[in-house]
Structure 1
Amino acid sequence: MGASLPPKEANLFKLIVKSYETKQYKKGLKAADAILKKFPEHGETLSMKGLTLNCMDRKADAYELVRRGLKNDLKSHVCWHVYGLLYRSDREYREAIKCYRNALRIDPDNIEILRDLSLLQAQMRDLSGFVETRQQLLTLKPNHRMNWIGFAVAHHLNSNGSKAIEILEAYEGTLEDDYPPDNERCEHGEMLLYKISLLEEYGFLERALEELYKKDAKIVDKLAYKEQQVSLLAKLRRFEEGEKIYRSLLSMIPDNYRYYEGLQKCLGLYSENGRYSPEEVDRLDVLYKSLRTQYNWSSAVKRIPLDFLQGEKFREAADGYIRPLLTKGVPSLFSDLSPLYDLPDKADILEQLILQLKDSICTTGGFPGSATKEPPSTLMWTLFLLAQHYDRRGQYDLGLVKIDEAIEHTPTVIDLYSVKGRILKHAGDLAAAAAMADEARSMDLADRFINSECVKRMLQADQVGLAEKTAVLFTKDGDQHNNLHDMQCMWYELASGESYFRQGDLGRALKKFLAVEKHYADMTEDQFDFHSYCLRKMTLRAYVEMLKFQDRLHSHAYFHKAAAGAIRCYIRLYDSPSKSTTEEDEEMSRLPPSQKKKLRQKQRKAEARAKKEAEDKNEEESSAGISKTGKRQHAKPVDLDPHGEKLLQVEDPLAEGTKYLKLLQKNSSECLETHLLSFELNMRKQRILLALQALKQLLKLDGDNPDSHRSLIRFFHKVSSFTTPVTDSEKLVWSVLEAERSSLSQLHEKSLIEANKSFLEKHKDSLMHRAAVAEMLYVLEPGKKPEAIKLIEDSTNNLVSIKGALGPVKEWKLNDCIAVHKLLGTVLVDPNAASRWKARCAAYFPFSTYFEGLCSSAISGSVNHKICNALENGGMNHQEAKSGVSPLNGNIETFKDLTI
């Protein structure tokens, strides 16, 4: 580097490099300017100056200098390397790889460039190139441990495990017998465990076990050693030895559920679906009773039997499990029991048990059959558990009664208010739920979790302004947006994005959804530093797991929600573009071409000016921002588009939506919503074959889903309206459609009207299926709109009686009923039918603010409270309350007077 310079300037060039590495950027700039004063066109100095300026956030100047330097010295590997580093800092990895390859053509044995190239190849998953580069590094520097390990890992990632094992064994052959020294024992042990895990992964089980026993003394992590040992023994079906190891592991960590699962497998008592024969249940019961005597302080050993026990044995085990936790006052007890509610029989037993415990405490002051008096708090926690039980079973009125009793008993316990808010949310009163969560928050202003739950309830109630003010209480310097974004607080961004979408504010909704997408891009970027770190520190097993996790990163639920939300925004934007945008387009279309060009130039200049002013303001604040310690503070970036207005100014919303759809199709192909969004997008884009592909996936995943049925009927109804094909491509598409239609079982030898009727006969007891049939009947035969409405109104809410429950449980879901109401009002466009449906649902969901139920916060508080008490006590029914007549007092007006 700098070889073409005289000695004095060559030393200055070395100073530039050293200053860059030690982050003394001003010193490096001073040295660069001294060289350029004498040699203004020296390419390598120009490049290094540009690289230094890039670290000082002067990117435009940096690129200009680096390109100038490269132009002046195209045969310098330094210029190409620096250009690659510049691209790498901007995450332009493919361009950076091109620059590195050009540098290696000039200096093929440069270890620094090869190392940087290998990191980028691992980042971009260019695995064959990664293997090649690591091999070259090992050839150049075979005495470096990291080069051996990197070459092995490269082969492993490239699905060549046998070669990776050979390389690791060859590396071990270069070591002396007394290796490793004390300061490298942990790292060497990790390398050995990685090698054994490789042997296991590629089926060399006996060899892996032999290697494990042989290297026992050199492996420091004994817990990982035992886990690896028992995994190999189980796969080799040496269950007796495996059982001993699992019991040994349980003595170390008796609350690890995986160890219990492994022990059951070794004893032949494990089932993937959780179903066991009576004989297996008896054997499992004996096993866990014996384990309970050994680990009586373990929670897992008492909780696991509840999953497989049945009947009276389940009741006894549940009783023994619940009692001490109620006495201690464990708020998370219901969360622990919640999976058992998927089995109705167990839910019935739990209800009987909890009611029995509550009644016994109320009458005797203790649990049934116990002479010990319980503390007063036990009754409160029992009511707390019972309220959550009723909430889980959809009996919200009973849940609210019990939680109110608990609050009256002990009004200072915050968890009670949080759970009441949760019950109100499930019951449909989002405003009251937010108010109750805020009351819980005000009882402990230092609790971040309760504050976050309150913010979430407010966003669900579309109280975005209030939610922002509440969230700001736990952010640095009261800067809510920047801090929550920097902390990657995705639940907040998703909840606020969904709230904005419900309110029709697509700009802000898009801004929130795309912020979540940016977090996932940052997570992908964050793995970069680990490519060298993990090889150096020998955390190889964790490194490979991290890479596998990164490969499936976009299948995470939060990303799916954000991408689906963004696609829905773009679809709505396409269906009803913003008024301002359409007006601007119309005005633009009236102008002659010359004026259009001038106007666009003027707009671009105005945007550039605004951006420059914001950047200048940032720099001023940065230069002025000195902390009390004397350190310079970084200015907060200015958001040039706080309301997301620029995000709405896209020429083709569907093309933008397709970008995110491709990610969902790649990473969430098993999700029904992915293919529904694909169908909606492609139908609007007139991509008939792609829409057909999405439809086939919908029918394959769930052909009985109402949305799948809607898509099927809509697609072929739309296709039938097309004109006769003329061109060869149209004829080809038409022939494909005909062939596919005959292959679909739902339409085999049936018209669309017949298929719709057949779907109704199959699902006539389901509200949402009837609504889908009604909607499609209206699409196929608009004249039969009254019949379509009658189909919906003839639906009955089957009340399911549950053994032990104090009342019937509704089969209809609140969100389904809201969707049907919107269907009647906006699609079938019948305000009278929508009004009738609303009145009917108000009786079924009395706490729903959407339907303005009598017990909701939509009704004035005092009247609401009295009517609800009357309803709960059986003094009046919903129809009487709606009509204003009650056997209690004759009419509702008198009832109102009594509350004043």
Structure 2
Amino acid sequence: MGASLPPKEANLFKLIVKSYESKQYKKGLKAADTILRKFPDHGETLSMKGLTLNCMDRKPEAYELVRQGLKNDLKSHVCWHVFGLLYRSDRDYREAIKCYRNALKIDPDNIEILRDLSLLQAQMRDLTGFVETRQQLLTLKPNHRMNWIGFAVSHHLNSNASKAIEILEAYEGTVEDDYPPQNERCEHGEMLLYKISLLEECGFFERALEELQKNESKIVDKLGYKEQEVSLFVNLGRLEEGEKLYQALLAMNPDNYSYYEGLQKCVGLYSEDGHFAPDEIDRLDALYKTLGQQFKWSSAVKRIPLDFLQGDRFREAADSYMRPLLTKGVPSLFSDLSSLYDHPGKANILEQLILELENSIRTTGTYPGRVEKEPPSTLMWILFLLSQHYDRRSQYEIALSKINEAIEHTPTVIDLYSVKSRILKHAGDLAAAAAFADEARCMDLSDRYVNSECVKRMLQADQVVLAEKTAVLFTKEGDQHNNLHDMQCMWYELASAESYFRQGDLGLALKKFLAVEKHYTDITEDQFDFHSYCLRKMTLRTYVEMLKFQDRLHSHVYFHKAAVGAIRCYIKLHDSPPKSTAEEDDDMSKLLPSQKKKLRQKQRKAEARAKKEAEEKNEESSASGISKSGKRQAKPVDPDPRGEKLLQVEDPLLEATKYLKLLQKNSPDSLETHLLSFELHMRRQKILLAFQAVKQLLRLDAEHPDSHRCLIKFFHKVGSLNTPVNDSEKLVWSVVEAERQTISQLQGKSLFETNKSFLEKYEDSLMHRAAFGEMMYVLDPSRRSEAVKIIEGSTNSPVSRNGTIGLVKDWKLEDCIEVHKLLGTVLVDKDAALRWKVRCAEIFPYSVYFEGRHSSASPNSALNQICKKSFENGSSSHSVGNCKVESITSNGKLDTFKDLTI
């Protein structure tokens, strides 16, 4: 580098490079300017100055200088390398790879450029190129351990594990000493475990076990050694040895569920679906009783048998498991038992058991069959457990009566208020749920989890401003939005986005949904630094595992929710585009003078409020932007705080398609993915893509009401379109007609007959009847009254769920809300919608949506008074026992405790 310069300037150029590497950017700029005064067209110096400016956040100047330097010296590998580094800093990896390849054409043996290129190829999963580059690096520098390891890993990632084994064995042949130095023992042991895992992956189990046992003294990770050894024993069918080793592992950690699962496999008592024959249950019961005597302090050994035991034995085991936890007061007991509610019959046994415990404690103060008195708190924890049990079974009135009794018994336990909040949320009173969540929060203002739960309840109740003021109590320097975004607090952004969407604020909803999507982009980028770090530190098994995780990153539930939310926003934006200024003026001209005046006053007040809030935020950010040293730290200003620019897209459906493709790639087994695909492509008139979505829906769940809706809508829409006029349209029609014959629901039937068959098959289901009625109206609008009658003919008969005996309502609140919206907006029958609302208000008395008699929407209900008291004027004030807490004042600041005498 800098070879074309005189000796003095060449030394200055080396100083630029050294200053860049040591982050002394001002020093590097000074040296670059010195060279450029004498040689203003020196390309490499211009490029290095640009690279330095890029690190000082002067990107436009940086790109201009680097391009100028490259133009002046097109045959310099330094200029191309610097250009690649510039693109890499902006995460434009494809362009960076092109620049590196151009640099290698000039200097094909440059190790620095080859190493940088290999990192980018690993990041972009260009695995073939990654193998070639790592091979070239090994050829140039075969005495470097990292090059051998990198070459092996590249072949493994490229699905050639056997070649990776050969490379690692060749590398071991170059190591002279059998025992590596003390400071490299951990790294060498990790490399050996990685090699053995490759042998296992290739199916060479005998060879892997032999290699493992031969190198036992060289492997420092003894737990990893035992886990690898037991895995090989199981794969080889040496189950007796595997059983002994699992027993040894359980002695080390008796609460590791995977060890119990492995032990069951060794003794031949493992089932993927959890179903066992009676004799297998007997053997499992005996096994866990023996293990229970060995590991008396283990929780897992007592909990696991509840999954496979049945009848009286289940009852006995559940009784002995719950009693000590209720005495001790473990709030998470119901969460621990909740998976048992999916097992037929077990929920009913649990209910009977808990009720017996409650009755015994109330009458005698002891457990059944015991003489020792229980502490008074045991009754409270039994009521706590019962309330969650009834909540799970949708018996909200009983659940609330139990939790209210528990609160009356001990009014200072925070968990009681949190559970009451959760019950009210499930019952449909979101405002009251937020009020009780806030009451729980006020009882311990230093508990971040309780604060977060309260914020979530507030957002679910669409109390966004109050939720923001509550969340800011636990953020750095009071900068709520930026801090939560920097922390990648995705649950908050998703909850607030959904709230904004419900309120019709598409700009802010879209902004929050896309913020979550950006977090996943950042997580993808964060892996870049590990490509070299993991090879250097030899954490090879974890590195490969991390890359596999990154490959399925976008299948995570939070990304799925964010992408779905963004697509729904774009669809709504397409269906109801924002009004232009001219259209707003036309609407204003139609108003009466008095209405115009009121509207203008309202707009002025809103503008003044927004201006005041912006000034307050600027003052807060200015105050918090001063560091301890007294220097003001500039914070980035959000150019689009309300998300208005996001709404100014020419084609919302095209934007939605970008996120749909990610869902189709990463969540192909989600019904919601293909429902959105259908909605999107029907709006875009993409007939074959919409039909593909219908086929995917039928593949996943042909009996689902939404799948039936899409099937009928699609063929009804296709039948109503004009006769095809050109060859492409004729081809599309011929494909659809040919495929129609393969759909079992439509074979030899009209759409009316298909719809009728659907009703006959599922006439006892509310949502299936609703789907039938909606499709009847779509096929023949004149039969609207008949469709309404069929929907209203649904009955909410008590049913037995999961083998339980107790009466559980069949209808769900969410389904009834959907039916009400269907009657009011799709079928457009206001009277039917009103009748349905009155009917559901009786079934769901705590539902705000249906204005139930016990909900906070009812003027005379107790919950209404609580909500008024709790959230008046954006403040929160609660009396809990003798504790009076003023938590949030109108300006969002935390006030002090008053009369704290708990």
TM-score normalised according to structure 2 size: 0.91
Is the Cα contact below 8 Å between 2:256 and 2:300 reproduced in 1? yes
Q: Could you say which residue in structure 1 is the equivalent of 2:433?
A: 433
Q: Give the alignment of 1:104-143 within 5 angstroms.
A: 104-143=104-143
Q: Measure the CA separation in 2 of the matches of 1:554 and 1:585.
A: 44
What is the one-letter code of the residue matched to 2:748? E
- Residue 90 of structure 1 pairs with residue 97 of structure 2: no
Which residue matches 2:846?
847
In 2, the alpha carbon distance for the partners of 1:574 and 1:202 equals 52
Structure 2 residue aligned with 1:763: 762
SS at match of 2:108: coil
> 8 Å contact 2:50–2:64 — kept in the other structure?
yes
Counterpart of 2:144 in structure 1 is 144
Report whether the alignment pairs 1:540 with 2:540: yes
Residue deviations 1:826-876 (CA, integer Å, cap 9, x gap) = 00001100000000000000000000001111113557799xxxxxxxxxx
Offset from partner CA, 1:493-515 (integer Å, 9 cap, x none): 11111111111111111000000
Residue 731 (str. 1) matches residue 736 (str. 2): no
SS at match of 1:41: coil
* SS of residue matched to 1:674: helix
The one-letter code matched in structure 1 to 2:555 is S
Q: Secondary structure at the match of 2:322?
A: helix
Letter in 2 for 1:710: R
Q: Distance in 2 between matches of 1:625 and 1:775?
A: 57
The separation in 2 between residues aligned to 1:656 and 1:673, in whole angstroms, is 18
- What SS does the aligned partner of 2:741 have? helix
Match for residue 212 of structure 1?
A: 212
Kindly provide the amino acid, as one letter, of the partner of residue 559 in structure 1: F
Corresponding position of 1:445? 445
Corresponding letter in the other structure for 1:788: A
- Contact kept, 8 Å, 2:429 with 2:848, in 1: the verdict is yes
2:831 corresponds to 1:827: no
Change in Cα spacing, 1:654 to 1:535, as seen in structure 2 (3 Å) is same
Q: Which amino acid aligns with 1:512?
A: K
Name the amino acid aligned to 1:335.
Answer: S
What letter is aligned with 2:154?
A: A
Aligned to 1:156: 156
Partner of 1:504: 504
Contact 1:127 1:157 in 2 (8 A): yes
After superposition, what is the alpha-carbon deviation per residue over 1:74-102, rounded to whole angstroms, capped at 9, x for unaligned?
01110000000000000000000000000
After alignment, is 10-19 or 718-727 more displaced?
718-727
CA contact (8 A) 2:759 2:769 kept: yes
Distance change (3 Å), C-alpha of 1:4 and 1:657: same
Q: Which position in structure 2 is the counterpart of 1:332?
A: 332
2:493 corresponding residue in structure 1: 493
Cα distance in 1, alignment partners of residues 803 and 244 from structure 2: 44
Kept in 2, the 8 Å contact 1:352–1:804? The answer is no
The TM-score, its normalising length taken from structure 1, stands at 0.91
Residue 582 of structure 1 and its aligned partner are, at CA, apart by: 8.0
Give the share of equivalent positions with the same residue, in percent.
80
Q: Assess if the C-alpha contact under 8 Å between 1:581 and 1:649 holds in 2.
A: no
For residues 777-801 of structure 1, give each alpha carbon's deviation from its aligned partner in whole angstroms, at most 9, with x where no partner exists.
0111111110000011000001125
CA distance 1:585–1:208, shift in 2 (3 Å): farther
Q: Report what 1:685 is aligned to.
A: 684
Residue 55 of structure 1 deviates from its aligned partner by 0.3
Distance in 2 separating the partners of 1:414 and 1:776: 49
The equivalent of 2:787 in structure 1 is 788
Distance 2:47 2:384 in 1: 68
Name the structure, 1 or 2, with higher relative contact order (CA <8 Å, separation 6+): 2
Which residue does the alignment assign to 2:879? none
Task: Measure, in 2, the Cα distance between the counterparts of 1:234 and 1:53.
Answer: 58
- Equivalences for residues 127-276 of structure 1 within 5 A: 127-276=127-276
Q: Partners of 1:359 and 1:427 in 2: how far apart?
A: 27
Quick check: 1:348–1:802 contact (8 Å CA) kept in 2? no
Deviation (angstroms), 1:586: 11
Kindly tell me: are residues 409 and 861 of structure 1, through their superposed partners in 2, closer, same or farther at Cα, counting changes over 3 Å? farther
One-letter code aligned to 2:108: P
Cα distance, 1:337–1:216 mapped onto 2, change above 3 Å: same
Shift of 1:445: 0.5
What are the equivalent positions in structure 2 for 1:670-749 lying under 5 Å apart? Answer: 670-749=669-748
Aligned CA distance change for structure 1 residues 622 and 69 (closer, same or farther; 3 Å): farther
Other-structure match for 1:56:
56
Output the CA distance in 2 between the equivalents of 1:576 and 1:413.
48
| 1:605 alignment partner in structure 2 | none
Quote the Cα distance in structure 2 between the aligned partners of 1:385 and 1:622. 49
Higher mean C-alpha displacement, 803-812 vs 639-648: 803-812
Q: For residues 300 and 6 of structure 2, what CA distance do their matches in structure 1 show? A: 74
Q: Report the AA paired with residue 498 of structure 2.
A: E
Please tell me whether the aligned partners of residues 205 and 232 of structure 2 are also in contact (alpha carbons under 8 angstroms). yes
1:804-842 CA-partner distances (Å, limit 9, x unpaired): 999622110000000000000000001100000000000
Asked if the contact 2:357–2:367 (Cα under 8 Å) also holds between the matched residues in 1, the reply is yes
- Determine the C-alpha separation between the residues in 2 that align with 1:52 and 1:414: 55
The structural deviation recorded for 1:583 is 4.0
The one-character-per-residue Cα deviations of 1:153-183 (angstroms, maximum 9, x if unpaired) are: 0000001111100000000001123331100
Partner of 1:609: none
Mapped to 1, the partners of 2:292 and 2:692 lie a distance apart of 55
Q: Please tell me whether the aligned partners of residues 571 and 652 of structure 2 are also in contact (alpha carbons under 8 angstroms).
A: yes
Distance verdict in 2 for CA 1:405–1:622, change over 3 Å: closer
CA distance in 1, matches of 2:190, 2:623: 47
| Equivalent residue, structure 2, for 1:774 | 773
The one-letter amino acid paired with 1:507 is: G
User: SS state of the match for residue 810, structure 1?
Assistant: coil
1:593-742 equivalence runs, <5 A = 627-629=627-629, 634-742=633-741
Within 5 Å, give how 1:309-324 maps onto structure 2. Answer: 309-324=309-324
8 Å contact from structure 2 (residues 477, 624) kept in 1:
no
Alignment pair present for 1:74 and 2:88: no
Deviations 1:207-238 (A, max 9, x none): 00000000000000000000000000001110
Measured in 2, the distance between the counterparts of 1:622 and 1:37 equals 40
Mapped to 2, the partners of 1:742 and 1:126 lie a distance apart of: 43
Is the CA contact 1:348–1:803 (under 8 Å) kept in the aligned structure 2? no
Q: Which amino acid aligns with 1:675?
A: H
* Distance of 1:198 and 1:583 partners within structure 2: 67
Going from structure 1 to structure 2, the CA distance change for 1:243 and 1:586 (only over 3 Å counts) comes to farther
Q: Check whether the contact 2:837–2:850 (CA below 8 A) recurs between aligned residues.
A: yes
C-alpha separation in 2, matches of 1:383 and 1:511: 43
Deviations 1:395-416 (A, max 9, x none): 1111000000100000000000
How far has the Cα of 1:67 moved from its partner? Answer: 0.3
Amino acid at match of 2:495: A
Structure-2 separation of matches of 1:803 and 1:389: 14
Deviations 1:28-82 (A, max 9, x none): 0011111111111110000000000000000000000000000000011100000
Q: Partners of 1:32 and 1:819 in 2: how far apart? A: 68
Give the whole-Å Cα distance in 2 for the aligned partners of 1:865 and 1:363.
Answer: 36
- Partner letter of residue 70 of structure 1? L
Over 3 Å counting, the alpha-carbon distance change for 1:715 and 1:143 in structure 2 is same
Contact kept? 1:429, 1:857, Cα under 8 Å: yes
RMSD: 2.0
CA drift at 1:721: 1.0
CA distance in 1, matches of 2:800, 2:841: 21
**Structure-1 separation of matches of 2:530 and 2:45:** 31
Output the CA distance in 1 between the equivalents of 2:450 and 2:832.
Answer: 41
The whole-number CA distance in structure 2 between the counterparts of 1:37 and 1:439 is 69
Aligned length: 835
Unaligned runs of 5+ in 2: 588-613, 866-902
For residues 539-574 of structure 1, what are the alpha-carbon distances to aligned partners after superposition, in whole Å with 9 as ceiling and x for unaligned?
A: 000000000000000011100000010001100110
Note closer, same or farther for the CA distance 1:100–1:622 as it changes in structure 2 (3 Å cut).
farther
Q: Deviations over 1:283-337 (max 9, x none)?
A: 0111000000000000000000000101111011001000000111100000000
1 CA distance for matches of 2:790 and 2:8? Answer: 92
Q: Shift in Å at residue 483 of structure 1? A: 0.5
Instruction: Give the direction of change, closer, same or farther, for the CA distance of 1:89–1:510 in structure 2 (3 Å limit).
Output: same
CA contact (8 A) 1:189 1:218 kept: yes
Shift in Å, 1:731: 1.1
1: distance between equivalents of 2:430 and 2:746?
42
Answer yes or no: is the 8 Å Cα contact 1:854–1:864 preserved in 2: no
